[in-house]
Chains A and B, each alone.
Chain A
Amino acid sequence: MNMDGATTAPELTESEEIASPERPLARPPLVLNRRSYGWITERISGAVENRAPRWWWVAFAFTSGIAGFGLFCLGYQISTGVGTWGLNHPVGWAWDITNFVFWIGIGHAGTLISAILYLLRQKWRTSINRSAEAMTLFAVICAAIFPGVHVGRVWMAWYLAPLPNNYGIWPNFRSPLLWDVFAVSTYFTVSVLFWYTGLIPDLATLRDRATSKIKKFLYGIFAVGWRGSNRNWRHYEMAYLLLAGLSTPLVLSVHSVVSFDFATSILPTWHTTIFPPYFVAGAIFGGFAMVLTLMLPARALFKLHDIITLQHIDKMAKIILLTGSIVSYAYAMEFFLAWYSGNQYERFAFWNRVLGPYWWYWWVGMLFCNCLSPQLFWFRWCRRNVLVVYFVCMCVNAGMWFERFIIIVGGLHRDFLPSSWGLFIPTWVDIWTFIGTHGIFLSLFLLFIRFLPMIAMSEVKIVLPESDVHRHDPINVAEKEHA
């Protein structure tokens, strides 16, 4: 079947509508109001093809201004020295690595939605996977900035690459920082491929609908000759499945490797074996919150309520509740193990987390934002109230940043020798570099929704009842309505 809305008459699907008996146990449909292929194509392509709304220009000017200032801060920092940040002798990493872990964590939801939920046949993912994957890529770009520029000699950062050289010096393969380089770059590469593969049918749709030569040429180039033939689909489905299989372990491995930066160190609060699952759960937790943070406004602005339904929001809220509870359990375990270890350094470090100089980071960030606020999602009306969901998502976004700060700076600022204890105070460069990455992230996202279909049209069409070849079979009449 040709899934390109452009070549399928929208009326055809409307006429195929059949009456179905009311079934109380029927699953709610994933696309509301019996929207047709044509409607979906029009609505989603329209966001790309129509003139940019005024709010888009205002928003883009604002975010790119922030991004520009963030880049200025990076330039200043690189040219002048890492000392422009507030780092000092006990605290060798602070906002830089906090921001890195924060952004990398956000980058997890996209691949989870597109790969793991795909393999698990969770069809509701189709409405959100495209923008979640785009968000992943942009978040990984923002994340990659920090380890790149936080080093003292940026121009020597290529020493981390395993390049053969005449000195015979290799990177240190025992260093988790090096594993990070491999893990993040692999993750980024596979995520780009996965995202791009999924885009091909939709790019072809845009190519076919393009009104100007330049657009036709560019979308045509990237659609790599897609014709929607049976053969095309066969290869596409297989490639997509393989990439989903490849990406799945990466979802788990990347943040595990990031957590090794801490877990393999010897500092109290860093040196702990529960970090890999704890970090992965936290990453998915924060990632879903960020997906909702971006999707809820986009849904309202582009009137996508029929495609991104309350059912989708409800499901994502459940994942936030689940991962948030895993994270809360991990926090509690950390305290228990510190006590159980009987090690005075561990015990002190956790008391210090709660009562030390950064106490409110823990009470507000970890306890309120990460542990308590998602508990609202036990209630169905909270999961289906967009404002409540947005509030919790903002809490989680902030809370996950605080969590990383507490782990990194909390571990560093008071370790073994009390003589070296210190504090970290951010400078304006720290703050604006971080805000600047938000500018970069949002600018890229705005460009994405302007130039690429923000929802996977072809995949959403696959979950419509009309796509089910057995939809006229009386036994399947009910199922095709919803599945």
Chain B
Amino acid sequence: MLVRDYSIDDGRYINNAWLQEMPDPITKLTWDNAALMSPRYAKTLGVETGDLIKITVNDVVPVTPPPAEGKPAPPPPPPSMPRELEIAVLISPGHADNSITIPLGYGRASLNSVGEHSGFNGYLLRTASNPHYIVADGKAIASIAVKKVGRKYPLSITQDHFSIEGRGLVREATLEHYREDNEFVKKIAGDDELPPQLPSIYRHPPLQSAQQWGMTIDLNTCTGCSACVIACQAENNVPVVGKLEVAHGRAMHWLRIDRYFASEHGYDQDKGELPEDPEMVHEPMMCQHCENAPCETVCPVNATIHSEDGLNVMAYNRCVGTRYCANNCPFKVRRFNFFDYNQRPVGKKKIAGALNVYKEYFAPFTEKGAPDTIKLSKNPNVTVRMRGVMEKCTFCVQRIEEAKIAVHIRAGASADDLRIPRDSFTTACAQACPNEAIVFGDIRDPESKVSKMKLQDRNYRLLQYLNVNTRVSYLARIRNPNPKMPDAQKIGIASPNEKEEAKE
């Protein structure tokens, strides 16, 4: 099956580094396309993710009409060449068995820019008669052969672990269950038996401002489309790191979409088990702006601190890059600039293969700087961070400040109410979300949209037992499967339920 690629479409955006580095919502693959197939089918082919396969499509040889009487026979038609494509395999749980999906648009040969050497050209298999599906139907296509090549191809995938491990991070229920127990979210992951609040030995940030910022993310409406990821990247000057660095686990996205596969039976990914027919859930994940932030206490230089309006803020100039904050972040949302990603081209060219040394890695001897197009793409209101500095979601602090300044200008010397008008601005991710799943605003104002969202009974916060008091909360996903559908039983199973706990 040939489909348009999720990020670069039919190939028209292949030179757009933001889109190249945006993880595919389902596979979390960046910088490449791949032959997607189900775990079962991969087993029959004897391949794993990253193995190259060769797909050969043999067309039906058109039957030459017998030559007319008295005329010389026409020259025989040119022999039809089998169409071939070598492509890397990516096992995608939930894919239909005995079929392969190939996103188009990649593998273009004559590029000298961002899209160079990315992916495999699915167009090589495509003909006008078979634009979308290549099926050995005997009419146009005689046979299709899929063979393991025996070589590997490196794929850069941002999330390797599919299983949610029964941790109650994404909470969902069927409508039926929700009607029975509309407080169900409070009973997951030990949220109903939290330890008592003990007196703290630290002085906590005062949080005195009239306005306190917070956010909700409605998992019911989030589709994992990743528009917020790109919006955040554009707004906050998040650098592109390149395929190799993504493979090293150093993607810089401040906002990422976690994707989990939930299966009725549970599976142990360490043993190579993959869910066959899973349910997929998405969860946008960014700095949770904990009121009791673990990152803040461990920074030795006071580079990450709390603002009075409840933001966990970074002083980039002060950061020396111990990475302790990122280690102590339970959500692993802090991003460290390992190289000067804003100063170096997206790296691909090897100079010494055996040593794994790449051209851009000899910083003192390498040309620095970005092309003007990249420089002009930066948001002038946001600092461009250098290497060795930790960075993370700021709740778009530049937008908050802009709104504050506007209010102050309007108020002039008068001592009017200096609060920013209710819901008059929002963060880049919330602005970009087509489903308005992300809501940002003042949680001290009971009439604000975000306060109302937080009052819903679906509202829950992650890792409450750590007593981090996150400012971001999630609204549980409620599904309404048709009970007559064969997979109705598989819907709404991402959160650990009492049944499973009883089994354990």
Contact = CB atoms under 8 A, between A and B. Distances in A.
A206 B13 CA distance: 77
Interface stretch (B46-54, B129-137, B360-368, B445-453): B360-368
Contact of B298 (A156, A176, A419): A176
Interface string B359-381: 00111100000000000000000
Interface in B287-339: 294, 297-302, 318-324, 326-328, 330-332, 335-339
Contacts of A307: none
Contacts of A153: 319-321, 386-389
B165 A80 contact: no
Given A87-B338, A177-B298, A419 B161 contact: yes
A17 B181 CA distance: 94
Contacts of B339: 80-81, 83
Contact of B248 (A86, A177, A261, A417): A86
Nearest to A172: B302
A447 interface: no
A266 B161 contact: no
B387 A81 contact: yes
B145 to A, nearest CB: 35
A339 interface: no
Contacts of A422: 160, 249
Contacts of B300: 160, 171-172, 175, 177-178, 181
B354 to A, nearest CB: 10
Give the size range of B's interface with the partner.
35 or more
Nearest to B271: A355
B459 to A, nearest CB: 19
A265 B298 contact: yes
A428 B355 contact: yes
A419 B337 CA distance: 20
Given A79-B364, A153-B388, A416-B463, A344 B327 contact: no
B285 A419 contact: yes
A264 to B, nearest CB: 7
B337 A152 contact: yes
Contact of A89 (B283, B299, B326, B388): B326
B294 A265 contact: yes
Contacts of B165: 348, 418
Interface in A158-206: 159-160, 169-172, 174-178, 181
A264 B294 CA distance: 10
Contacts of B22: none
Interface string B338-365: 1110000000000000011000011110
A9 interface: no
B302 A427 contact: no
B344 to A, nearest CB: 9
Given A82-B321, A82-B388, A428-B356, A417 B249 contact: no
B388 A152 contact: yes
Nearest to A90: B332
B231 to A, nearest CB: 20
Nearest to B322: A151
Contacts of B285: 417, 419
A428 B297 CA distance: 33
Contact of A152 (B245, B260, B330, B336): B336
B270 A151 contact: no
Given A89-B251, A175-B298, A417 B330 contact: yes
A245 interface: no
Q: DSSP majority for the B interface?
A: loop
A266 B332 contact: no
B215 to A, nearest CB: 17
A157 interface: yes
Contacts of A156: 320
A433 to B, nearest CB: 15
A267 B245 CA distance: 25
Interface in A408-439: 412, 415-422, 427-428
B245 A83 contact: yes
Nearest to A181: B300
Interface in B31-77: none
B302 A170 contact: yes
B408 interface: no
Contact of A418 (B260, B297, B324, B361): B260
Pick from A81, A84, A159, A357 the residue with the most CB of B within 10 Å.
A81
B159 interface: yes
B258 interface: yes
Interface in A90-125: 90-93
A92 B327 contact: yes
Contacts of B318: 159, 169
B117 interface: no
A356 interface: yes
Residue from A80, A159, A261, A356 whose CB has the most chain B CB atoms within 10 Å: A80
Given A152-B388, A266-B294, A171 B336 contact: no
Ranked nearest first, the 3 interchain pairs of A and B with the lowest CB-CB distance are: A152-B321, A152-B388, A83-B338
7 contacts: A80-B339, A86-B248, A160-B300, A417-B258, A418-B167, A419-B159, A422-B249
